[in-house]
Amino acid sequence: MILSVMEREIAWGDLDALGIVFYPRYYEWMDAAGHQFFKTIDLNLYDLWEKRNIQFGLLETSCRYFKPGRYGLKIKIKTRLEELSKKTVLLRHEIQQAADEKIVEGFEKRICLNVTDIKNFKSMDIPQDLFAVLENAGRD
């Protein structure tokens, strides 16, 4: 199973008035981690859009918060493919402190879209070549 890891340091601009991470930031990082996951398995989402008019749009996202993230903390966002269906993928993200202690866990469920008509996206089956790559990435 492919596990993609992105590292970052919690910055001043990520904090709210309590001195802890303002929670939408975690979703920004999960989105970036998802893109990196796709790159890791040689699927560049931007190229997929430009060359084949395919995108993976969002159906659902979710996070559970275990500990507050604080200034200067070095974190890891570990991403793996947890579910794959004909049209959808579910990416699972764990955000950990240095010592492998989980601070946030979340997922993004995405659906394969034909975006040729930029004003009217249509869901579609994941093309076979992409499905094969994703299936392989999720295999234990």
Which residues contribute to the site for its own copies (CB under 8 A)?
11-13, 15-19, 22-25, 27-28, 31-32, 35, 44-46, 49, 55, 57-65, 68, 71-72, 115, 118, 121
Count CB-CB contacts under 10 A for residue 29: 22
Burial class (CB in 10 A: 0-12, 13-18, 19+), 124: middle
Instruction: Give the nearest distance from C-beta 113 to its own copies in angstroms.
Output: 9
Between residues 39 and 80, which has the closer beta carbon with respect to its own copies? 39
Instruction: Give the nearest distance from C-beta 139 to its own copies in angstroms.
Output: 26
Count CB-CB contacts under 10 A for residue 103: 19
Instruction: Give the nearest distance from C-beta 4 to its own copies in angstroms.
Output: 13
Strands 88-97 and 122-123, by their bridges, are unpaired
